[in-house]
Amino acid sequence: MRVGVLTGGGDCPGLNAVIRAVVRKGIEVHGWDFVGFRNGWNGPLTGDSRPLGLNDVEDILTRGGTILRSSRTNPYKVEGGVDKIKQVLADQGVDALIAIGGEDTLGVAKRLTDDGVGVVGVPKTIDNDLGATDYTFGFDTAVSIATEAIDRLHTTAESHHRALVVEVMGRHAGWIALHSGLAGGASVILVPERHFNVDQVVSWVERRFEKEFAPIIVVAEGALPEGGEEKLLTGEKDAFGHVRLGGIGTWLADEIAHRTGKESRAVVLGHVQRGGTPTAYDRVLATRFGLNAVDAVADGDFGVMVALKGTDIVRVKLSEATAELKTVPVERYQEAEVFFG
């Protein structure tokens, strides 16, 4: 059997760990051949590929990013895209695909399965917003990076007695903001799932200043003030219809400074959350996902995604995994609210 592997969407710590696990088990246990498609779905669209052997994955466990590179290509936005993919797979003798990605990449995987292509999905996103799995790899690393940044910002905020607003990733789901904010001892945590009242935020900030503490506000990039609109870096949309968000942190810092008369600064963590070495947890989870994805291919169980349920790796339908985003439930946010101010 010859199996194709691709990584789509945003890069994420742990992608290489999945590739390594897939290739090692596939070759050493089943004797399969592997081909890596470059740049997400653009690879099988154009035939841009490379062989993947044991030597190619020997030293990639700890590396961030992806040796296959990535893109936000949507073959269903390309005329004749599905037929092109089928032809490339046939020409290269590929019998099955393992697609590693988030909602967009796996949404394509689901549609391709419906169109007769054998695909197994592996859930990847630092936002932890993919349905049908308790956690996605990459999330733990992103939270750890954000938490360390918040820890460092506490000291400089206290030194200058200023408010610091930390903008983290999270378009529709506030998991990174919630977890890093709790772990970092933030004064306020703002998530997309719950529109925030600026007056209330300012009240919490002033309360911290009154106690001679410097407030730290953690805000997800997709968080919205009541009656406000998303802050956009650009109005352009990618192939999946997403606009680039950014700027809510700067806007909120300016509002706090204006309303309190206190010095306020914004720090945008941006892509630093995606980069660098994955944590031990993400390396293990990514490896387990990769090993179980190989099992699904061996069983001919296509149209599924490997998922974490409790401590077990299970298989769920791609249709279930991509049906809706997993957002922060109200009760989780309410748990954290006791610490505000």
Catalytic (active-site) positions? 127
Is-contact 260 217, C-beta < 8 A? no
221 is in an annotated binding site: yes
Annotated binding residue 179: no
Residue 169 counted as an annotated binding residue: yes
Is 10 known to sit in a ligand binding site?
A: yes
Q: Quote the strand ranges of 27-95, DSSP E.
A: 33-37, 49-52
If DSSP codes are grouped into helix, strand and coil, which group holds residue 5?
strand
CA distances from 180 to 215, 216, 334 (A): 15, 12, 16
CA distances to 33, 40, 55, 108, 163 from 72, rounded to whole Å, are 26, 7, 28, 11, 36
For residue 126, say whether it is annotated as part of any ligand binding site: yes
Strand partners, 220: 168
Strands 216-220 and 304-309: unpaired
What's the rounded Cα separation, in Å, for the pair 133 and 316? Answer: 9
The answer to the question of whether 152 is labelled as a binding residue is no
Would the annotation count 274 as a binding residue?
A: yes
> Does the annotation place 69 within a ligand binding site?
no
Q: Is 111 annotated as a binding residue?
A: no
**Checking DSSP bridges between strand 188-190 and strand 96-101, what pairing results, if any?**
unpaired
8 is in an annotated binding site: no
Residue positions in the annotated binding site for substrate?
A: 125-127, 162, 169-171, 221, 265, 271-274
Residue positions in the annotated binding site for diphosphate?
A: 10
Residue positions in the annotated binding site?
A: 10, 103, 125-127, 162, 169-171, 221, 265, 271-274
Residue positions in the annotated binding site for Mg(2+)?
A: 103
